[in-house]
Amino acid sequence: MTGTEALLRGLNPQQHAAVTAGTGPVLVLAGPGSGKTGVLTRRVAFLIREMQVRPAHIMAVTFTNKAAGEMRQRIESYLGAPAAITVGTFHAICARLLRIEHASTPYSQDFVIFDTDDQVKAIEQALHELNIDSRKFNPRSLLAAISSHKNEMKLPHQAVARDYLGEVVARVYPRYQAILLDNNALDFDDLLLQMVVLLQQHAPVREKYQQRFGFVLVDEFQDTNTVQYHLVRLFGRPQDNLFAVGDEDQSIYAFRGADYRNVQRFRQDFPAAQVILLEQNYRSTQVVLDTARAVIDRNTNRTPKALFTTQTGGDKITIHEAYDEEYEARFIVEQVEALKRRGGRYQDVAVMYRTNAQSRALEDKFIKEGIPYTLVGGVGFYKRREVRDLMAYLRVVNNPNDKISFARIINVPKRGIGDKSLQEFQALAAERGWTYADLLAQMSAGARLPLAARTTRLFMEFGEKLHAWQQQAQTGHLVALFDAITADTGYHLHVQQISTTPEEAAERSENLRELRGLLLRADAEDKPLGEWLIDQSLMTDVEEVRDTADKVTLLTLHAAKGLEYPVVFITGLEEGLLPHMRALDDGAAEDLQEERRLLYVGITRARQRLYLTYAFRRMLWGSSDVRKVSRFLADIPAHLVDSLPDTLLAERSSASYRQQTTWDTPAPRPARPAPAAPGPERSRLANDLAAFRQQLQQPAPPLRPPAGKVIPFPGQSAGSTQYQPGQRVKHPLFGPGLVQASKLDAGEELVTVRFEDARYGTKTLMASLANMSLLHP
């Protein structure tokens, strides 16, 4: 058998057509689990083996760095040798090319990539310089506005103001950009936008890369934004050997400018493109697929796909209502343990959620029950203070003109340089038009400067160290540099000092060791500092190599894209969480559709077994609120579900609900699942449960409003409430408290009370059941 036969073996006709397509534009619309990654990698191998394309002429764009690594590995295993193809995310590829071609850009080779924190600082500086109150204009909102401009390829002078905020943005954006340039820094959006600018403005560079990349392949094409779309087109010219793979239904990154309509745009821009549909799913059971379809079918503007699988039937899905997030976690733990007892593995299970904050309750329970897990993303390694500090040191060594990193570490650990001294230093550099490096050099050269003697001495001491570190960086070994920095600054002692507990100190030290380990690896590849720093800026915690140990995976729905697990739990199917609050505003129909796609992505990760869970109440942002069941659950036909929680049954039987629901066959009413008995140690929980049971005595209120009606949200409900914010009340169980808010919800008044007894905290109760009395002040 020839290599090519092996390459094409086992492909279905559509996959075969995609892999062996000729030159010119090709669009592959690939449903979940349809083998698109395999098609993409085989396509690359096919180009090289059969179409005699030189590997160096191929650019393959993936969505994550991790996916890039995996794709390279698979391609090399097909070819049996390392291949010189360019594989990476748009951001990583652009960063590399910008570094190589820096002479044609406004940046020097040692540019840095600003993360969100750096960006916020840059914005604050811009606001300060423009005399704009940063309290009035939230830096993050401004940043978001600037980011959308960049994603739409609008340069600073092209920002057009349509409203007052837009006007402020139009003033801040140019200033912000100037500050970035002053720091020799690019933000994430710049990596793409500056690449477009470079290609557009420098014909020799453009032609060089257009010749170089004769074949461009893009994965997850539905999540490209406008700049990325233009990059694809620019690189692809003039031959347009473009191979785009995507699925509109899995577009979940609109918040960063992704526009699934780029798929349609591709078809319009390349009317001659071959369009290939991959509709056979090799991943999931029919039940899982039907569930996914029921959810996604409600979206408009989509290319309908007839997904099918040969795995007919399968276990029905489970929808579980928990009392609160703790019981939700408990349910999952019970199911996972049962699975383990039946011979299953932890690594077969993934637990997904909409927001990172939801992982906490899950982790608590997992730790308590001794279930091993890995957390993808979250408050990551690179956000730890000690890691950020050391990274800032390395960035300053690489580029002393990264003023934001300089400011971060100039007095960490404390070396007597306070805000005042730093400001004088900054002002003097600005006044003389010197870089920080210039000013430090002037100091050690003994120049007479208008600074306090003490200030000069302290900066000089720092400057000498910095100089020594830079020498060290020249000679190569990054680990040696790291060791020199920690030793010269006494950073290890500093770590002990900033830690309040021995555990915290140990954890921070461990993080430093881990960072050192990363540098050790970089040394093995002889990576220069500047390159390594760029690599790290592009690396996120989601990219961590998944270890092979037997552990449950905890991750957001976003992070789950492209992955699959035999058993999947999707948690928090509640209004406000999934769909998220931010998608529930009036006129956010697009956002709502994206939430639906997010759930669709989650569901289609499951190979065999799917659980959807929600909680009756949940602790969120400091208060425990009664939750409403996610509207998405109503779209799942009852025959796909093993049993329905009482609340959903109650909903189903309510008249207004029945008219527009898709539950077709009434499921047998299960015995009420008794809420797990409270442990002896939790009197507070017992109280909650008592209130819960009391509420259950009442007929369930209709939880789902008639179709088309706006969901009432805090603050916007009409009608009068019995309680007003500011009133003092007394609850029979929880004692006295202060009313924080009260709202009408489906005819039921929900009153939020902060109880004086801290054990009870802030709770939201149904006014008609809470039996509270009004206290006079």
Q: Which of residues 290-319 bind DNA (CB under 7 A)?
A: none
107 counts as binding DNA under rule CB under 7 A: no
542 counts as binding DNA under rule CB under 7 A: yes
Nearer of residues 89 and 661 to DNA, judged by Cβ: 89
Longest dimension (CA), the chain: 89
- The number of residues that bind DNA (CB under 7 A) is 46
Question: How far apart, in whole angstroms, are the C-alpha atoms of residue 765 and residue 762?
Answer: 10
DSSP 135: T
N- to C-terminal Cα separation, the chain = 89
C-beta of 24: minimal distance to DNA in Å? 28
Question: Is 605 in the active site?
Answer: yes
C-beta of 524: minimal distance to DNA in Å? 24
Single out the catalytic residue among 4, 20, 23, 37: 37
Question: What sign has the CA pseudo-torsion 186, 191, 194, 199?
Answer: positive
Nearer of residues 140 and 693 to DNA, judged by Cβ: 140
221 counts as binding DNA under rule CB under 7 A: no
Q: Which of residues 412-471 bind DNA (CB under 7 A)?
A: 414-421
Which helix H or strand E contains 617, and what residues bound it? strand 617-620
Question: How far apart, in whole angstroms, are the C-alpha atoms of residue 123 and residue 143?
Answer: 7
C-beta of 219: minimal distance to DNA in Å? 12
What is the C-alpha R_g of the chain?
29
C-beta of 115: minimal distance to DNA in Å? 8
Nearer of residues 188 and 657 to DNA, judged by Cβ: 188
* C-alpha 206 chain-centroid distance: 32
* Residue from the set 158, 303, 355, 662 that interacts with DNA by CB under 7 A: 355
Instruction: From 307, 263, 260, 310, select the one nearest 285 (Cα to Cα).
Output: 310
> What secondary structure does DSSP assign to 95-107, as a single string?
HHHHHHTGGGSSS
* Amino acid present at 689: L
Binding mask 575-594 for DNA (x = CB under 7 A): -----x-xx-----------
C-beta of 464: minimal distance to DNA in Å? 19
Question: Is 220 in the active site?
Answer: yes
Among the residue ranges 251-259, 512-520, 527-535, 763-771, the one whose residues contact DNA (CB under 7 A): 251-259
725 counts as binding DNA under rule CB under 7 A: no
Instruction: From 228, 769, 250, select the one nearest 558 (Cα to Cα).
Output: 250
65 counts as binding DNA under rule CB under 7 A: yes
Single out the catalytic residue among 101, 110, 190, 220: 220
Question: How far apart, in whole angstroms, are the C-alpha atoms of residue 372 and residue 374?
Answer: 7
Nearer of residues 411 and 722 to DNA, judged by Cβ: 411
In 393-499, which ranges are E strands?
none
Question: Is 471 in the active site?
Answer: no
Question: How far apart, in whole angstroms, are the C-alpha atoms of residue 365 and residue 613?
Answer: 16
Question: How far apart, in whole angstroms, are the C-alpha atoms of residue 257 and residue 255?
Answer: 6
Which helix H or strand E contains 198, and what residues bound it? helix 188-201
Question: How far apart, in whole angstroms, are the C-alpha atoms of residue 249 and residue 598?
Answer: 9
Question: How far apart, in whole angstroms, are the C-alpha atoms of residue 167 and residue 264?
Answer: 33
* Residue from the set 344, 476, 705, 761 that interacts with DNA by CB under 7 A: 761
- Residue 63 φ then ψ, to 5°: -90, -30
| 240, 270 Cβ separation under 8 angstroms | yes
Single out the catalytic residue among 105, 119, 228, 250: 250
Single out the catalytic residue among 283, 508, 596, 605: 605
* Residue from the set 271, 433, 622, 699 that interacts with DNA by CB under 7 A: 622
Among the residue ranges 34-42, 247-255, 481-489, 630-638, the one whose residues contact DNA (CB under 7 A): 247-255
Q: Which of residues 75-104 bind DNA (CB under 7 A)?
A: 89-92
Instruction: From 184, 159, 171, select the one nearest 130 (Cα to Cα).
Output: 171
Binding mask 543-572 for DNA (x = CB under 7 A): x------------x-xx-------------
Single out the catalytic residue among 14, 15, 36, 536: 36
Which helix H or strand E contains 191, and what residues bound it? helix 188-201
* Residue from the set 41, 224, 356, 536 that interacts with DNA by CB under 7 A: 356
C-beta of 63: minimal distance to DNA in Å? 7
Question: Is 219 in the active site?
Answer: yes
Single out the catalytic residue among 187, 190, 219, 328: 219
C-beta of 404: minimal distance to DNA in Å? 13
Question: Is 64 in the active site?
Answer: no
* Residue from the set 435, 540, 608, 722 that interacts with DNA by CB under 7 A: 540
Nearer of residues 349 and 376 to DNA, judged by Cβ: 376
Instruction: From 580, 574, 394, 599, select the one nearest 477 (Cα to Cα).
Output: 394
503 counts as binding DNA under rule CB under 7 A: no
Give the neighbor-by-neighbor strand order of the sheet with 58-61: 86-88, 58-61, 215-218, 242-246, 26-30, 274-278
Among the residue ranges 73-81, 309-317, 408-416, 737-745, the one whose residues contact DNA (CB under 7 A): 408-416
Question: Is 423 in the active site?
Answer: no
Question: How far apart, in whole angstroms, are the C-alpha atoms of residue 618 and residue 525?
Answer: 48
Neighbours of 84 (CB within 10 A): 9
C-beta of 269: minimal distance to DNA in Å? 23
Q: Which residues are part of the catalytic machinery?
A: 36-37, 219-220, 250, 605
Q: Rule CB under 7 A: which residues touch DNA?
A: 63-65, 89-92, 116, 135, 138, 140, 188, 252-253, 255-256, 354-357, 377, 379, 411, 414-421, 538, 540, 542-543, 556, 558-559, 580, 582-583, 619-622, 761
